[in-house]
Amino acid sequence: MCRDLVTAIFLEIWSRHLHCNERTSSRCFTGVRCTCTAGEHRLLDQRISLNTNCTVARICFFIRIHEGSRMMQKNFLILILVFSLLTGCAPMVQANPTATRPSSVTRVSPQLPQSPTSTTPVRALLISQLKMFDKNRGWARDMSGYVYKTSSGVRAWQDVSPVGDYLGLKSSVFFLDENTAFITYASGTPERAQFFTVSSMDGGQSWQSGRPLTFASPPGDFWPIQMFFLNAETGWLLGYVPAGMSHIDTLLYKTSNSGMTWEKLEDSYQALHEHQPQQLLGSSTASFGKDNSMIFVNARHGYIEADETLDGGQTRQKPEVGSPSNALIDQLSQPWFSSPLVGVFILRSYRKDQVVVPPGDIYQGLPQTQKLYRTQDGGSSWRSTLLPERLGTVFFLDARTGWFLGLSSDSVNADAKFYFSSDGGIVWKSVSDHCPLPLGSKLQFVSARIGFATNPFTDSQNPYYPFDQKADSRPYLWMTGDGGLNWQELVPVIRP
């Protein structure tokens, strides 16, 4: 067994099974960051140095075990010992894998340092948010809120996070272009919250911190859900405060100076207690991913939780689209615009008896229909076409070029199907009937051939899991180089 194969196997185990999530955080001496559910599991902090003549000189393992499971500790330590012995073996010729499905599925091990005497630590990157501007240049965020940059493709990344005691803080990031990024950090108590924004205009080489904003929070923890910046100065911040009983209080802020200061535009909790009309509903687009809650076309025209605003977020109203039948409940995705005039969104229609939690955030079963709405006049009018599957997600590179990942089967073992459109979503052509991507993946293409897929539900319950058991909360990164016909699952690494 060659050392590269052993390395790939262990990184596969680490990335798929030894990560954890939620609140309590920890960090080891090599810098591997992990979070763990308090009370349910604990971390066995085994700092292992593998100083053998192999491609991995030192890896810090965080082993997640169930409370009281001593046998699991013993088994993992035995596996690590075997790993350290096997990685010193002589290389062997590896047979080419045989494809078993029309769509090729390949797992690519990271490109590790070639020098056998190198002691540079290699760390896998668990991506929870990705923004690529072309094949090589982009940003990423991990599950702990750290930020990374690459100029050589998605396989290797550099940590460019701002220096400070930010570990454990709730955060939201927005990547405007290859040089400009914003991070909002939040902390506080259920009664009083605070947040502040840091920004970088030079690709993460330096960060500037804005003024902290402290306020009396609605009862509950304040979470910065999403930022959206129109340019380097003008941006918006949407925050949630879970209030229980499936209710979420929402707060909306705006900045005109790169996040140095923020102005509050709306507070649904305050509006309720002051008998003002509530315009922010909260979580109505949750099943499309939390970073799909807000977009602005210009300084006045935008969409927040699928509601349209024409005055920069001061007021908003629901778009006049949907099912004419009172027997159906509609769920709208956040619109996406490829230009100030051209945009799309998804509308799913459910029967009223499919609604588990009103006003329609949680549903049971597949929607009755799923339609794609398109506009060519900036949202003044919308035209709809029926999508080829009853559940799925889309991405459009421009006004005409788009992709759709979806299925219509109730079986959790069914593969999703992948489609391509060259006419703005009017006609969809099948690319693959057995796409390896988990249902609900966030698609992103940078050209007609090169695309990526990530999991937008790494820190929340995945609403697509009842239809696809691959659609869990595990971070993943897939890449295609032929327009979605074949996909490779990658294990990206962090370079010093």
In this predicted model, what pLDDT tens digit does every residue of 272-308 receive, in sequence order?
Answer: 555 554 444 444 555 566 667 899 999 999 999 888 9
Amino acid identity, residue 348? R
Q: Does the pLDDT of residue 133 top 90, yes or no? A: yes
Tokens matching residue 92? 């062997």
For the chain, what is the mean pLDDT? 76
CA atoms of 138 and 179, how far apart (whole Å): 9
What is residue 130's predicted lDDT score, i.e. its pLDDT? 97
Range(s) within the chain of domains with CATH label 2.120.10.10: 162-280
CA atoms of 314 and 65, how far apart (whole Å): 49
pLDDT band at 30 (very low <50, low <70, confident <90, very high): very low
Q: Domain 162-280's class?
A: mainly beta
∠ CA 124-196-241, nearest 5°, is 85
Of 47-51, 94-98, 107-111, 153-157, the range with the lowest mean pLDDT is 47-51
Q: How far is CA 46 from CA 82, 168, 325, 469, in A?
A: 16, 21, 59, 31
What is residue 33's predicted lDDT score, i.e. its pLDDT? 36
Residue with the bigger pLDDT between 325 and 321: it is: 321
Of 89-93, 130-134, 186-190, 309-313, the range with the lowest mean pLDDT is 89-93
Other C-beta atoms within 10 Å of 445: how many?
Answer: 21
Q: Does the pLDDT of residue 24 top 50, yes or no? A: no
Q: Does the pLDDT of residue 102 top 50, yes or no? A: no
CA atoms of 98 and 8, how far apart (whole Å): 18
CA atoms of 57 and 77, how far apart (whole Å): 17
∠ CA 54-56-62, nearest 5°, is 140
450-488: burial string, b at 16+ Cβ within 10 Å, e else: bbbbbbbbbbeebbbbebbebbbbbbbbbbbeebbbbbe
Strands 263-267 and 294-296: unpaired
Q: 411-459: per-residue pLDDT in tens?
A: 888 899 999 999 999 999 999 999 999 999 999 999 999 999 999 988 7
pLDDT, mean of residues 466-487: 94
pLDDT band at 48 (very low <50, low <70, confident <90, very high): very low
Residue with the bigger pLDDT between 285 and 339: it is: 339
- Under a CB-based contact definition with an 8 Å cutoff, are residues 347 and 330 in contact? yes
| pLDDT over 90 percentage in the chain | 47
pLDDT, mean of residues 65-77: 41
Amino acid identity, residue 144? S
Q: Does the pLDDT of residue 491 top 90, yes or no? A: yes
What is residue 107's predicted lDDT score, i.e. its pLDDT? 40
Q: Does the pLDDT of residue 387 top 90, yes or no? A: yes
